[in-house]
Each structure stands twice: as C-alpha cells, then as structure tokens.
Amino acid sequence: MNGKETLQAPGEQGEGAVIDAEALKARVAQLEREREFWRRSEEEIRRSEQSHRSFIEQSTEGIWRVELEEPMPLNWREERQVDHVYRTSYLAECNDAMAQMYGYSKAEELIGARLGDLLVRSDPQNLIFMRDFVRSGFRLVDAETHEMDRAGRPKYFLNNMVGIVEEGKLLRAWGTQRDITERKRAQDALLESTELQRMMLSELDHRVRNNLAALAALIDISKRDKKDVTEFAESIKGRVQAMSAVHSLLSRAHWQAVSFRSLIESLTPFDLRGSVILDGSDVLITPRQVTALGMIVQELMANSLKYGGLKSRGGQVALQWTVQDEPSKRSRRLDLTWQESGGPTIDGIPKSGQGTGLIEGFVRTELRGEVKMTYPPTGAAHRFILNLDRRS
C-alpha cells in the first residue's frame, strides 16, 4: 500500500475496479460548482427577462417585434425586398402602450396584425419608409410613418428600428415608436394659418391697390358737371362711404366671399331699412366682384334717396333676385330686379348722368352682364343679369 485510499467496487475484479476516492470527491465538488453556476446563471437570466419585460410593459413608447414568416435573402433587389416584408411580416410582440396608440386596451388585441394592415402601402410616405429601411441596412432613426387606428383615424409615428440578420437573411425587426399625431396636427394647423395669413395679406395688398385706383377714378368721375366744391364733396362722399362699407365686410369675412344680403343691408341707411324689401335666397359674392356690386347698389340707393321711392315717407324699394348655375360659363347667373314705389311721380326719362354711366360700366366689365334701366311714372324699375364668379 502506498497510503493512498482506494475503494473496491462491489462485484468488480481487476485494475479498472479500483476507484480513487480523492478524485471522486474532486469530481463531485466540481459538479456541485457547475450546478451552482448554472443555477445562478438561470436566476440572472430570469431577472434579466423580468427587467426586460417590466421595461417593455412600463415604457410610454410603443415597443414591438415584427417577424417574417419567411426569412428574406439580402441579395434580392430593393422592390422585391419591400414587397416581401409587406407580404410576410406580422406583429409578434408589443407592449400595451403601442396597442393603445391604435385604440386598443391590451397588447394581446394587436399582436398578430399584418404589417400591411398597420402600414398602409398606398401611402407614399410609407413606401419611402420601407425603401429607406432596406437601403439603410435595416436601421432607421426617427423615421415617420402614416397609419390608421382601429377607428380609421389617421395617426403619425416616429420609429426607431433595427433588423436582425443571420446567415445573409433578414429574420425579424425590433423597434420603438412615438405617437406624434397631435404635434403633426399642430404643425399642419400652423402651416395652414401661415399660408392663410400670407394669402390674406396678399389679397389685402391687392384690394388696397384696387381701391386706391377706384377711388381716383371715382374722384375723376364725380368732379364732372359739378358746379361747385360742395356739390362735388356730396357726390364723392357717398361713393367713398360705400367703398368703406364694402372693405369692412371683406375684413370681417377674412377676405373671403361676402353675403349679398349683408352687402345690401350695409349700404342701406339705418333708418330706412324697413323701407327696403329683400326677396331672394342669400348668395355669396367673391371678393373680386363685391366692390363693383356694392358700388352699383350705392348708386341706386343714392338716386332713390334723392329722386325716387326712398325720398318720400311711405315709399319703398323692393329687390328680388334668383341665382342659377351656368356650368358652360363656369359662373352663376344672378337675375336681380330693383323696383321703386311710393316716391314722386316720374315725368319722362331722366337724363343719363355719371351714376348711370358708373353702373353700366361695372355691369359690363366686372360683372360681365347687362342691365335694363326703365323709369315708369310709378317708380324706377331696373333689371340686372349678372355673371358671378364661382366660389373657389
């Protein structure tokens, strides 16, 4: 014996039956260490998975994993890769935060959805997104997508994503997304407001220039045949006030179309509004034509106050109109009659003056129409056929 402890296995004979007790103890100790190592490793993995799961579930960002039903070779051409991702990808995992972005309560309600159902292929922005994903080597940062929630409402997301590639094939993609719908709407509203403001300022500049030119023309017209400054001032005053009233209407309408009924009411003296009868469905007049129509109404009102139905107590003016679309002319036909009654008896046809010339000029040029002005003894009776611009 050499002092080394050995064990004889029962029923065994020969050299191979001798077991080294020290080696056996060492082997058992090694197995115990290995078992402890794997136990701790499994515990670490479990804690890591729990931490990972907790992070995903508690994140306010949408976190997702998309799987491809068939791994995609990377040597395919770009369009084939885009088509393959669309056809074979589905949502394999996501958190509740992502599901809620689409109008669901829990992730389970969204998991399994096809990529094509979430990322509408017909939207050009989404095709750009998918092509960029392929071209970038399957890595994107803050890439925008246009999608729909379960109720069909548009949604906008910013995505960060990375594809998982093994052995030359794309297997899946992990990503996060943030809902930027409200921010996008605010940006769009700001852009729309800025553009509207630009258009309004441009229109205002255009109108001011036109009004100044029209005012100069009115001054030139009004001074003709006037015997003194007082008569000239009285003539120009009403026309300038009419231009001012039209300007105020346009301003209140933000330089959009103006109501014809409101136009007439604004040019009717307040104390005589009960004497002006309006009969017709309301019609909107575009800014381009409203000044001309306003000046016509002002001239008719001024003549009625001075010579016609509004000069006498109990007299009145009746306006009646109809509107009809004219598709062939890309316009609307306004058929307007102006009938005065209760004023002084008219004896013969009045001499045509500056006001009549102004009316006929506006009708012919700005309103592309015609007018027939008659003066029976009972009161002035005029008929206008005007072509109004279509509202854009």
Q: What confidence tens digit (pLDDT) does each residue in 28-49 have?
A: 777 777 777 777 766 666 665 5
In the prediction, which pLDDT does 244 show?
A: 82
pLDDT tens digits, one per residue of 180-211: 998 888 888 878 877 777 776 776 666 666 66
Q: Which of 59-68, 106-115, 220-229 has the lowest mean pLDDT?
A: 220-229
In the prediction, which pLDDT does 1 show?
A: 46
Whether the pLDDT of residue 310 is over 80: the answer is: yes
In the prediction, which pLDDT does 171 show?
A: 95
Q: For residue 86, how many other CB atoms are within 10 A of its CB?
A: 16
Joined together, the tokens standing for residue 145 give: 């997508």
How many CA atoms lie less than 13 Å away from 57 in the CB half-sphere? 8
If you average pLDDT over residues 325-344, what whole number do you get? 89
Question: Strand locations in the chain, DSSP E?
Answer: 6-8, 18-20, 62-73, 89-94, 139-148, 154-166, 169-179, 258-259, 276-279, 284-285, 316-326, 331-341, 370-374, 381-389
3-state helix, strand, coil split of the chain in percent (to 5) is 50, 25, 25
Grade residue 348 by pLDDT with cuts at 50, 70 and 90.
confident
User: In the block, which residue shows the tokens 């394999």?
Assistant: 92
In the prediction, which pLDDT does 323 show?
A: 94
CATH number for domain 59-179, candidates 3.40.1010.10, 3.20.20.140, 3.30.450.20, 3.30.930.10: 3.30.450.20
Whether the pLDDT of residue 137 is over 90: the answer is: yes
Q: Rounded to whole angstroms, how far apart are CA atoms 120 and 155? A: 11
If you average pLDDT over residues 163-171, what whole number do you get? 94
In the prediction, which pLDDT does 145 show?
A: 92
If you average pLDDT over residues 171-187, what whole number do you get? 90
Whether the pLDDT of residue 344 is over 60: the answer is: yes
What is the domain partition of the chain in residue ranges? 19-56, 59-179, 185-389
If you average pLDDT over residues 254-260, what whole number do you get? 89
Mean pLDDT of the chain: 83
Q: Which residue has the higher pLDDT, 384 or 38?
A: 384
Q: Indicate if 185-389 has the same CATH topology as 59-179.
A: no
Grade residue 353 by pLDDT with cuts at 50, 70 and 90.
confident
If you average pLDDT over residues 242-260, what whole number do you get? 86
Q: Rounded to whole angstroms, how far apart are CA atoms 150 and 131? A: 25
Q: Which residue has the higher pLDDT, 151 or 233?
A: 151
Three-class SS state of 95: coil
CATH number for domain 185-389, candidates 1.10.1740.10, 3.90.650.10, 3.30.565.10, 3.40.50.300: 3.30.565.10
In the prediction, which pLDDT does 60 show?
A: 75
Q: Which of 4-8, 91-95, 302-306, 368-372 has the lowest mean pLDDT?
A: 4-8
Q: Let me know if 388 is exposed, middle or buried by CB neighbors in 10 A (0-12, 13-18, 19+).
A: buried
Looking at mean pLDDT, say which of 62-71, 188-197, 245-254, 344-353 comes out highest.
62-71
Three-class SS state of 6: strand
